[in-house]
Amino acid sequence: MIKVGLTGGYASGKSFVARELERLGCRLIYADQLGHAVLEPNGEAYAPTVEAFGPDILASDGSIDRKKLGAIVFQSPEQLETLSSFVHPAVFRLEERLLSEFAREHPHTIAVIEAAILIETGRYQVFDRLILTACSEEVQIARGMHRDGLTREQVLARLSKQMPLEEKKRYADYVIDTGGPKEQTLEHVRAIFAELKALEQAR
């Protein structure tokens, strides 16, 4: 089994590329979904998060209200760092458990973890290959406004908090330009998949 990281900036086409890789036969792990899972009442990060931020972040059913929590952490870098210190290690451990299951059940597969901050967290170092999705800032802005209903200023605020794309490119083995026609992006994904398949088979 080979392990592949898939990352990129906000609204850069990560999910589109991930779905195609999954369709081609890769085993996908979506870090966002794991981030939600570890904050569920039975999740590893639930108790420390409630202890740190108090019962006001809870919904009536005892689950964490993500909007309430988000309103707190996204206004304070220190609070966001506190939350990340609970969530990121829990997500990494869950990822490792899933990767171990994949390796045991499908030893000749390609496992892909899709996550926005693989590089920033240093997580990229555990992968055999790293794929980066990229497009122009104007495309990101247009997508963010259309997809998430944000204003141009809100999208720019999100982008300003992320590692610059040119810096991310230094870490990537593959860069997929998602700013053109969809079929062009899909062709690039298929070409990369063929290379990954050959790499896995050569082991």
51: CATH: 3.40.50.300
Q: What is the pLDDT of residue 161?
A: 83
Listed in sequence order, the DSSP H helices in 2-136 are 14-24, 31-37, 46-53, 66-73, 77-105
Which among 108, 133, 166 is the end of a domain? 108
40's CB contacts (< 8 A; 6+ apart) are 46, 63, 64
Asked whether residue 95 falls in the same domain as residue 35, the answer is yes
Q: What is the pLDDT of residue 153?
A: 92
Asked whether residue 22 falls in the same domain as residue 118, the answer is yes
Asked whether residue 85 falls in the same domain as residue 135, the answer is no
Count: domains in the chain: 2
Residue 13 φ/ψ region, left for φ over 0, alpha for ψ in the -120 to 50 degree band, beta for the rest:
left
Asked whether residue 118 falls in the same domain as residue 18, the answer is yes
Asked whether residue 35 falls in the same domain as residue 102, the answer is yes
Which among 108, 135, 156 is the end of a domain? 108
Q: For residue 122, give its domain range.
A: 1-26+111-203
Its pTM stands at 0.92
145's CB contacts (< 8 A; 6+ apart) are 151, 152, 155
Q: What is the pLDDT of residue 37?
A: 97
Q: What is the pLDDT of residue 75?
A: 85
Tell me the pLDDT of the chain (203 aa) as tens digits: 999 999 999 999 999 999 999 999 999 999 999 999 999 999 999 999 999 999 999 999 999 999 999 889 988 889 999 999 999 999 999 999 999 999 999 999 999 999 999 999 999 999 999 999 999 999 999 999 999 998 999 999 889 888 998 999 999 999 999 999 999 999 999 999 999 999 999 98
Asked whether residue 102 falls in the same domain as residue 58, the answer is yes
Q: What is the pLDDT of residue 158?
A: 86
